[in-house]
Amino acid sequence: MHSPAPKAASATLARPVDLTTLWIAPPLLVLGGLFFYPLVLILGQSLGSDGSALSLRFYAQVLATPLFQGALLHTIVIAVASSVGCLTLGFVMALVLSFVPFPGARGIARLIDTFIALPTFLVALAFTFIYGSAGLLNMSLMATFHLPLPPIDFLYSPWGVILAEITVYTPFVMRPLLASFSLIEPAQIEVASSLGAGPWRIIRQIILPAAIPALLAGGSLCLLLTVNEFGIVLFIGAKGVITLPLLVYDKAIQEFDYTTACVIAMVNIALSLSLYSLYRLVVARFGGRNAGLV
Amino acid sequence: MASDLALDSARSVARSAREPGSGICFEDVTVAYKGTVVLERFSLTVAPGEIMAIIGPSGSGKTTALRAVAGFVRPVSGRIQIGERDVTDLPPYERDLGMVVQNYALFPHMRVDENVAFGLRARKEADTTVYGRVQECLRMVGMLNYARRYPRELSGGQQQRVAIARALAIRPRVLLLDEPLSALDAQIRRSMLDELARLHRELPALTVLYVTHDQTEALTLADRIAIMRDGRLVATGRSHALYRLPTNRFAAEFLGRANLLTVRREATSGAGSASDGVFARVRFGDVSLLARSAEGVSAGDECLLCIRPHDIGLQRPPAPVNALVGTVQSVVWQGDLHNVTLDLGADLGADLRGDLAGDRGDSILRLVSLPLREPPQPGDRLEVFFAPEDAVLIPAEAAHA
């Protein structure tokens, strides 16, 4: 019973050093130098590594401030609201593109896909041009109705951020949704309707269940991306809306309060990593056969 | 025991279906996709309680005809009636049909019983009704023990049974079957065919439209058969009659195997009439033959003589009427029968040989026989016989249709 183990061990010992494993070294070095080392520095800073003993006292301090709590709340509310918005809008749009035959549907699906390639602040910039206080909409409304003040004023509130994030991240939901819709057998929908199911029942009972893996995967991806969104918040929300990434920026760049910035960064990282684990879990749990599409 | 239960449940489904059934009526239906006409002025009436098979090669428009009844394609012209109701402009979910498709299309995230209940739920039936009806229909197709399974846990045959139960649960007057057996392997296909026949015996008021490319399925199951080609109806008739007395070349060749000999009806009417039809004398080369006459074949016309391979005998009857001599080309043993191919060419008159060269007929005669103890050898000269009742003339015009 025990004999194979020592044999195997001696075989491992006897084997000459495998040079091919050295190929791992360069990527590890790069990763370590550019990613893990700074991460460790940030972690150290947040724990108070400058001479004093490591402790969580800065965490206690920072986490107790209303500024941090407000930012955390904003971050979560905006991320959840944007993700829900993305899922709703994405589901409706994917539904129309997949099941309502109209000329150019494929082209539009492609176009939406290219949205993913655009930088997020571009949409924010476009939003300010259109909905901003000196934007197209407000200027023309003021000119038309002789208003003294811009009537449309949602852009610099959380609503503006949420709307911009929905615009930017909806394609991330639509891609897996379009893929999962294309796997639904058209015959299933036909049989369902011949059995007396109207469009709503078909969406609810045939299409939605088939789309759940894609919705979960797309939704958690959205959540992850919106929690870390920086550009849009900076462009649009800077005046009133403070989220965790923005707070890190404020503390580090504008107030030179590195310790607080590092604490907040660590919280943000923890939030992101747990969302990412959730995302992987969801993909593994539900997306087994669609994993390649998500 | 199990079959008693099955019969009971079938009766209770049948009870509701005993009210007069609904027929299907196509009236000059034309369907076009993007300018291409796929169904052209199609008219067909399916009587209540009848099984009508629509057969034809792929692209013949048979599935389009079924989809027009279901409401998945809208005709550009013409009307479709189910029973007394004009359904041409109704959406599919208001047509009250059962439908079974080739790949079952079971809802993958629902259990078997939920699949069967789907139509009833869509109709907002009470829970007790739904439960009872689901049990009943699953029992009828022998799938009651699988009620809590998911479709992916079932074999193809089992899935198709569930699909049939799902279609029957809403007690439709009309059942549409779109190639329901073509995804199954041969053995299961045969047993499902028996099963479908049994179901229809138990639900005699159910009108069935059965689309298939398989002539065996059509002949086994259907009361009547409609043959389609290139979007048009080519022939229709009671299955037996259509097989025995095809009205055109395509019908003869698509429904079973047929020998088609180019013959000329004799001017001098040596024809006699029998109790079941009128016979005409024709010339095949130098040979004179007697066959059932057909409309559209006048004296002196060139036409086709259709004779099924299994109607040709090797035994000389006491008073042979039709005899042909040929050279054996091949003999193929197939277990329960022998396929023999004869070349009649060498024994034909010179004039017909010329015709045959022009690709207008066939000098090859195929016959099947029960296994022969001493089968003929290739090269042998063989005399074969057939009865006038088994041979039918087909107008030459139809041959080019």
Whether B107 sits inside 8 A of A188 (CB atoms) is yes
Q: Which of A141, A160, A157, A159 minimizes the C-alpha distance to A149?
A: A141
Is A209 inside any structural domain? yes
**Structure confidence at residue B361 (pLDDT):** 46
Identify the pLDDT of residue A1: 42
Instruction: Give yes or no: residues A220 and A272 share one domain.
Output: yes
Q: Is A193 on the interface with B (CB under 8 A)?
A: yes
- Do A51 and A81 belong to one domain? no
Q: Which residues of B fall below an 8 Å CB-CB distance to A?
A: 70-72, 91-99, 101-103, 105-110, 118-119, 122-123, 163, 166-167, 170, 176
Identify whether the C-beta of residue B379 lies closer than 8 Å to the C-beta of residue B327.
Answer: yes
Specify the pLDDT at position A17: 64
Query: CATH number, domain at A268?
Result: 1.10.3720.10
Give the separation between CA B201 and CA B194, rounded to whole angstroms.
Answer: 11
Q: What is the mean pLDDT of chain A?
A: 82
Q: Do B98 and A188 touch (CB under 8 A)?
A: no
> Which of B95, B109, B114 is best to mutate for the A interface (most A CBs within 10 A)?
B109
- A162 in any annotated domain: no
Of the listed ranges A15-29, B160-174, B374-388, the least confidently predicted one is A15-29
Across the interface, whether the CB atoms of B118 and A185 are under 8 A apart is answered no
Q: In chain B, how many domains are there?
A: 2
What CA–CA distance (Å, rounded) separates A119 from A96? 26
Residue where a domain stops, chosen among B205, B224, B243:
B243
Domain co-membership, A181 together with A236: yes
Q: Give me the amino acid identity at B168.
A: L
CB contacts < 8 A (A, B): 67
- Checking if the pLDDT of B171 tops 70, the result is yes
- Report the pLDDT value the prediction gives residue A49, as an integer from 0 to 100: 64
Residues A91-112 pLDDT 10s: 999 999 888 878 888 888 888 8
- Looking at the structure, tell me whether residues B265 and B201 fall in a common domain: no
- CATH label of the domain that carries residue B130: 3.40.50.300
Chain-centre distance for alpha carbon B247:
15
* B contacts of A185 (beta carbons < 8 Å): 103, 105
Distance CA(B177)–CA(B211), nearest Å, equals: 6
Q: Does residue A136 fall inside a structural domain?
A: no
Pairwise CB contact (< 8 Å): A197 & B70: no
Domain count, chain A: 2
Q: Which residues of A touch B92 (CB under 8 A)?
A: 190, 193-194
What is the reported pLDDT for B17?
A: 44
pLDDT of A52 reads 67
What residues of A are in contact with residue B68 (Cβ under 8 Å)? none
Q: Which residues of A touch B110 (CB under 8 A)?
A: 205
Q: How far, rounded to the nearest angstrom, does the alpha carbon of residue B71 sit from its chain's CA centroid?
A: 23
Segment B279-293, tens digit of pLDDT: 888 888 888 899 988
Residues of A in contact with B108 (CB under 8 A): 210
Quick one: B284 and B155 in the same domain?
Answer: no
Same domain, B109 and B186: yes
Quick one: DSSP state of residue B47?
Answer: -
Task: Provide the mean pLDDT of chain B.
Answer: 85
**Tell me: the pLDDT tens digits for A175-202?**
889 999 999 999 999 999 999 999 999 9
Decide if A241 is inside a domain.
yes
Task: Give φ, ψ of B381 to 5 degrees.
Answer: -90, 135
Position A4 scores a pLDDT of 46
Query: Could you tell me if A47 and A68 lie in one domain?
Result: no
Compute how many other C-beta atoms are within 10 angstroms of the C-beta atom of residue A76: 16
Do residues B226 and B260 both lie within one domain?
Answer: no
Of B216, B243, B270, the residue at which a domain comes to its end is B243
Q: What is the pLDDT of residue A116?
A: 78
As a whole number of angstroms, the distance between CA B288 and CA A164 comes to 90
Any domain includes A8:
no
In order, the DSSP letters of B61-101 are SHHHHHHHHHTSS--SEEEEEETTEE-TTS-GGGS-EEEEE
A220 and A202 co-located in one domain: yes
What's the half-sphere exposure (Cβ side, CA atoms, 13 Å) at A197? 23
B103 contacts in chain A (CB < 8 Å): 185, 187
Is the confidence at residue B87, as pLDDT, over 90?
A: yes
The CATH number of the domain holding residue B286 is: 2.40.50.140
B101 CB neighbours in chain A (<8 A) are 187, 190-191
- Given A55, A72, A94, the domain boundary residue is A55
Residues A37 and A101 in one domain: no
User: Distance (Å, rounded) from C-alpha A1 to C-alpha A17?
Assistant: 29
Of the two residues B215 and A19, the one the predictor is more confident about is: B215
Burial (Cβ within 10 Å: 0-12, 13-18, ≥19) of residue B210 = buried
Sign of the alpha-carbon dihedral angle for B203, B207, B209, B214? positive
Q: What is the pLDDT of residue A16?
A: 62
| pLDDT average, residue stretch A128-138 | 82
Q: What is the pLDDT of residue B112?
A: 96
Residue A9: inside a domain, yes or no?
Answer: no
* pLDDT attached to residue A142: 85
Q: Looking at the structure, do residues A94 and A44 belong to the same domain, yes or no?
A: no
Last residue in a domain, options B243, B272, B299 = B243
Domain shared by A97 and A32, yes or no: no
The helix (run of H) or strand (run of E) holding residue B128 is helix B127-140
**Statement to judge: residues B188 and B209 lie in one domain:** yes
Reported as a single tens digit per residue, the pLDDT across B370-399 is 888 888 999 889 999 999 989 999 987 644
Q: What are the DSSP E strand ranges found in B137-223?
A: 174-178, 207-212
Whether residue B113 sits in one domain with residue B69: yes
Q: pLDDT at position B354, please? A: 46
| pLDDT above 90 as % of chain B | 54
pLDDT of residue A290: 45
Whether the CB-CB separation of B259 and B212 falls below 8 Å is answered with no
Among the residue ranges A220-224, B94-98, B349-353, the one predicted with the least confidence is B349-353
Tell me, what's the pLDDT at A65?
87
All residues of chain B having their beta carbon less than 8 Å from the beta carbon of residue A290 are none
Please check whether residues A97 and A186 belong to one and the same domain: yes
Same domain, A241 and A274: yes
Inside any domain, residue A138: no
Strand partners, B39: B31
Is the pLDDT confidence value at B271 over 70?
no
- Please state which of the ranges A71-80, B100-109, B303-312, B342-351 shows the lowest mean pLDDT: B342-351
Shortest distance between the Cα of A196 and any Cα of chain B, in A, equals: 4
Residues B105 and B15 in one domain: yes
Range of the domain at B137: 2-243
What is the rounded (10 degree) CA torsion for A71, A75, A77, A80? -170
Report the residue from B70, B105, B170 with minimal CB separation from A188.
B105
Q: Are residue A42 and residue A185 in the same domain, yes or no?
A: no
A76 and A101 share a domain?
A: yes
- The beta-carbon neighbor of B107 closest among A194, A196, A206 is A206
Q: In what order do the strands lie in the sheet with B322-333?
A: B364-369, B338-343, B322-333, B381-386
Identify whether residues B196 and B287 lie together within a single domain.
no
Find the domain containing A244 and state its range. Answer: 61-121+170-286
Q: Which residues of A78-110 are buried (b: 16+ CB within 10 A; e: fewer)?
A: bbbbbbebbbebbbebbbebbbeeeeeeeeebe
pLDDT at B3 over 60: no
User: Is residue B257 domain-shared with residue B161, that is, in the same domain?
Assistant: no
| Contact (CB<8Å) A194/B107 | no
Alpha-helix runs per DSSP H in chain A: 4-14, 25-31, 37-46, 57-64, 66-99, 105-115, 120-131, 136-145, 158-182, 186-194, 199-202, 208-227, 231-232, 244-249, 258-286
User: Would you state the pLDDT for residue B356?
Assistant: 46
CA distance B227 to B233: 6
pLDDT confidence tier of residue B1, bands split at 50, 70 and 90 = very low
Give the Cβ contact number of residue A2 at 10 Å: 6
Report, as an integer, the average pLDDT of B103-121. Answer: 94
Q: Residue B335 above 50 pLDDT?
A: yes
Question: Is A293 inside any structural domain?
Answer: no
> Looking at CA atoms only, how far is residue A191 from chain B in angstroms?
6
Is A113 part of the contact surface with chain B (CB cutoff 8 Å)?
no
d(CA B147, CA B126): 19
The whole-angstrom separation of Cα B323 and Cα B84 is: 53
Q: Are B72 and B172 found together in one domain?
A: yes
* Same domain membership, residue B152 and residue B131: yes
Clarify whether residues B158 and B302 are in a common domain: no
